[in-house]
C-alpha cells in the first residue's frame, strides 16, 4: 500500500493506522451530545452512512494525503457506536442487568483491531489492499440496510416528544408539551448538549481520572498491536511470513473474549451480592472490584509479553502475555464503562464521549511516540482510590445526580 500511495516516511505510514483512531477522539464529542437532542437511531444511521461513503473512498485513494483524509472522515462516522452505545445501554438496562450487555458492548471495539489484521492479511495476499476497504464497505452496507428495519429509538425524551406530537394530532390540543420542551429552543438544546462532554471532561473528577485511566489502557493495547508485525515477521525475532505472523492476533481475540465473558457474569453476580448487603441499594462503586483485577493483571501481562519477546522464547510465550493483557484491558474497559453509565445515567452518552476522547487520543499517539515499553505500574492505584473515594466525588457532581 505504501508503494501504491507513494509513501516513503515511516511516521506517515503509521499515521494511516492512527489517523482513524484520532477521528475516534473527535467524533464522540459531537455525536454523543447530538444523540441526546435528536435521538440515538438517526445519529447512528447517518454516522454509519458517513463511514460507509468515506471507507469506500479509501479503496480508491491514489495518494497518501487522500488516504489520510478519507481515513479520518471514515473514523468520524465510525465513532458513533462508541459515542452512543453507552447511552443506549443506560436507556435499556437497569444497573443489575447491565453487566452482560456491557460485556458484549465492550468486546466489539477491542476484538475488531485484534481479528481485523488477520482477515486483512489474507485478503491482501489473494487480491489487493484496496479490497480490504471494499469488503468492509459491503459488510457495512448490509448493516446499514438491516438497521433501517431493526433499530428502534431508546432515548426517552425523543420518545416522549413523539408521543406528545401524536396526542396533539389525535386530540387537536396544541397546548400539549413534553416536559422541558418549552424551556429551550433547538439551538439552545444543541448548545447545551455540545458543551456537556467538555464540561464533564474538565470539571468532573470522576470523568477526568477514568478518561486518563481508559486512555492508558487503550494506548497500551494499540502499542502492543502496533508491535506485532515487527516482532513476529522481523528476522531479528521470529521471522514468520506476513500471513502466519498475523495469526498471533488471535491471542488478543481469545483474551478479549474470555475476559468479557468472565467479567460480565462475575460483575453481575458481585453487584447483586453487594447490593443485598447494602440494604438493597446499589451504587457505582460496586463495579470497582472488577477494576482491581485489571490493575493486577495488566502489568503482569505487559511484562510477560515484553520479557518473553525480548528473550526470544517460543512464540506461544508472548502470545500468552498478550492474551493476559487483552483480558485485563477489557476487564478495566468494562468496569469503567459500567461505573460511568451508573454514575451519569441521564447523560451517559456525553460522559462516555468525554472518556472516549482521551482513550482514542492515546490509541492514536502511543504507536507513534511510544515504541519503547512504557512504565506500566502507574495504573494499579486508580481502582483502589475509587473504591474509597468514589461516592464522595459523585456526591459533589450535579451531573452524577442527574440534574
- The domain that holds 235 is classified in CATH as 1.20.1250.20
The residue with greater pLDDT, 363 or 33, is: 33
Please indicate, yes or no, if residue 25 is contained in any of the structural domains.
yes
If you average pLDDT over residues 204-219, what whole number do you get? 81
Q: What's the average model confidence in pLDDT over 40-57? A: 95
User: How big, in percent rounded to 5, are the helix, strand and coil portions of the chain?
Assistant: 80, 0, 20
- Find the range with the poorest average confidence among 183-187, 376-380, 395-399: 376-380
> Which pLDDT belongs to residue 244?
81
- Counting the structural domains of the chain, the total is 1
Task: Report the alpha-carbon distance of residue 208 to residue 199 in Å, rounded.
Answer: 10
Place of cell 490493575: 295
Residue 187 in any domain: the answer is no
Average pLDDT over residues 146-155: 89
pLDDT tens, position by position, 53-74: 999 999 999 988 899 999 999 9
Average pLDDT over residues 132-153: 92
**Beta carbons of 81 and 109 less than 8 angstroms apart:** yes
pLDDT tens track for 274-313: 888 988 888 888 888 888 888 888 888 888 988 888 888 8
Number of other residues whose CB lies within 10 A of the CB of residue 150: 8
pLDDT bucket at 367, cuts 50 / 70 / 90:
low
Overall average pLDDT of the 74-97 stretch:
85
Measured in Å, how far apart are the chain's first and last C-alpha atoms?
Answer: 51
**Is 403 a member of any domain?**
no
Set of cell numbers at residue 280: 438493597
If one compares 57 and 241, the residue with the highest pLDDT of the two is 57
pLDDT of residue 47: 95
Give residue 372's pLDDT: 44
Task: Give pLDDT, residue 378.
Answer: 46
Do residues 39 and 151 make contact, with C-beta atoms less than 8 angstroms apart? no
pLDDT of residue 373: 43
Residue 403 pLDDT > 50: no
Share of the chain above pLDDT 90, in %: 14
Does 180 map to a domain?
A: no
Q: What is the mean pLDDT of the chain?
A: 80
Spatial separation of the C-alpha atoms in residues 290 and 102, rounded to whole Å: 13
What Å distances lie between residue 364 and 16, 80, 213, 240, 327, CA to CA?
10, 17, 15, 27, 21
- Between the alpha carbon of residue 225 and those of residues 113, 190, 314, the distances in Å are 8, 38, 19
Question: What are the residues whose beta carbons fall under 8 Å from the beta carbon of 182, sequence distance 6 or more?
Answer: none
C-alpha grid cell for residue 194?
455540545
- Report CA torsion sign: 36, 42, 46, 52: positive
Provide the residue range defining the domain that includes 235: 2-172+193-395
Distance between CA atoms of residues 55 and 138, nearest Å: 10
User: What is the average pLDDT across 182-198?
Assistant: 75
- Which of 90-99, 173-182, 251-260, 321-330 is the least confident region? 173-182
Residue whose entry in the numeric block shows the C-alpha cell 389525535: 170
Q: Percentage of residues in the chain with pLDDT exceeding 70? A: 85
As a whole number, mean pLDDT of residues 362-383 equals: 54
Domain contains 209: yes
**Position 38 in a domain:** yes
Give pLDDT, residue 41.
92
- The closest of 329, 349, 352, 363 to 260, measured between CA atoms, is 329
Tell me, yes or no, whether 28 lies in a domain. yes
Q: What is the pLDDT of residue 56?
A: 96
What is the reported pLDDT for 383?
A: 63
* Residue-level pLDDT at 32: 84
Spatial distance between the Cα atoms of 192 and 37, rounded to a whole number of angstroms: 10
Number of H helices, E strands in the chain: 17, 0
Q: Is 154 helix (H, G, I), strand (E, B) or coil?
A: coil
Most confident of 80-84, 117-121, 177-181, 222-226: 80-84
Q: DSSP class of residue 345?
A: S
Domain membership of residue 253 (yes or no) is yes
- Whole-number Cα distances in Å, 3 to 9, 134, 314, 346, 353: 11, 19, 33, 49, 36
Which range among 195-204, 241-250, 319-328, 334-343 has the greatest average pLDDT? 319-328
Amino acid at each position: 500500500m505504501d508503494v501504491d500511495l507513494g509513501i516513503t516516511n515511516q511516521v506517515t505510514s503509521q499515521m494511516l493506522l492512527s489517523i482513524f483512531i484520532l477521528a475516534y477522539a473527535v467524533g464522540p464529542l459531537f455525536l454523543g451530545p447530538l444523540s441526546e437532542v435528536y435521538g440515538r437511531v438517526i445519529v447512528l444511521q447517518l454516522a454509519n452512512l458517513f463511514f460507509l461513503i468515506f471507507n469506500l473512498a479509501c479503496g480508491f485513494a491514489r495518494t497518501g494525503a487522500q488516504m489520510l483524509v478519507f481515513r479520518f472522515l471514515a473514523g468520524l462516522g465510525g465513532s458513533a457506536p462508541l459515542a452512543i452505545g453507552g447511552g443506549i445501554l443506560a436507556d435499556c438496562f437497569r444497573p443489575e442487568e447491565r453487566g452482560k450487555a456491557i460485556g458484549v458492548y465492550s468486546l466489539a471495539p477491542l476484538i475488531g483491531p485484534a481479528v481485523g489484521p488477520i482477515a486483512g492479511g489474507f485478503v491482501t495476499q489473494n487480491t489487493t489492499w484496496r479490497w480490504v476497504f471494499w469488503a468492509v464497505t459491503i459488510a457495512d452496507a448490509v448493516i446499514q440496510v438491516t438497521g433501517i428495519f431493526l433499530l428502534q429509538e431508546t432515548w426517552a425524551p425523543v420518545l416522549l416528544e413523539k408521543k406528545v406530537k401524536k396526542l396533539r394530532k389525535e386530540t387537536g390540543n396544541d397546548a400539549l408539551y413534553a416536559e422541558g420542551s418549552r424551556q429551550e429552543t433547538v439551538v439552545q438544546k444543541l448548545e447545551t448538549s455540545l458543551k456537556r462532554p467538555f464540561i464533564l471532561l474538565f470539571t468532573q473528577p470522576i470523568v477526568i481520572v477514568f478518561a486518563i485511566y481508559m486512555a492508558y489502557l487503550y494506548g497500551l493495547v494499540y502499542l502492543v498491536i502496533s508491535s506485532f508485525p515487527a516482532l513476529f515477521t522481523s528476522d531479528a525475532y521470529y521471522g514468520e511470513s506476513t500471513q502466519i505472523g498475523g495469526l498471533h492476533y488471535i491471542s488478543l481475540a481469545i483474551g478479549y473474549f474470555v475476559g468479557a465473558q468472565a467479567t460480565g457474569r462475575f460483575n453481575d453476580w458481585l453487584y447483586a451480592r453487594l447490593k443485598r448487603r447494602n440494604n438493597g441499594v446499589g451504587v457505582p462503586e460496586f463495579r470497582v472490584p472488577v477494576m482491581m483485577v485489571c490493575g493486577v493483571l495488566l502489568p503482569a501481562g505487559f511484562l510477560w509479553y515484553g520479557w518473553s519477546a525480548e528473550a526470544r522464547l517460543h512464540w506461544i510465550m508472548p502470545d500468552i502475555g498478550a492474551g493476559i493483557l487483552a483480558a485485563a484491558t477489557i476487564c478495566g474497559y468494562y468496569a469503567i464503562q459500567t461505573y460511568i453509565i451508573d454514575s451519569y445515567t441521564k447523560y451517559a452518552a456525553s460522559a462516555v464521549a468525554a472518556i472516549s476522547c482521551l482513550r482514542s487520543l492515546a490509541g492514536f499517539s502511543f504507536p507513534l511516540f511510544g515504541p519503547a515499553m512504557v512504565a506500566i505500574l502507574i495504573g494499579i492505584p486508580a481502582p483502589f482510590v475509587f473504591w474509597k473515594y468514589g461516592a464522595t466525588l459523585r456526591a459533589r457532581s450535579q451531573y452524577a445526580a442527574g440534574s
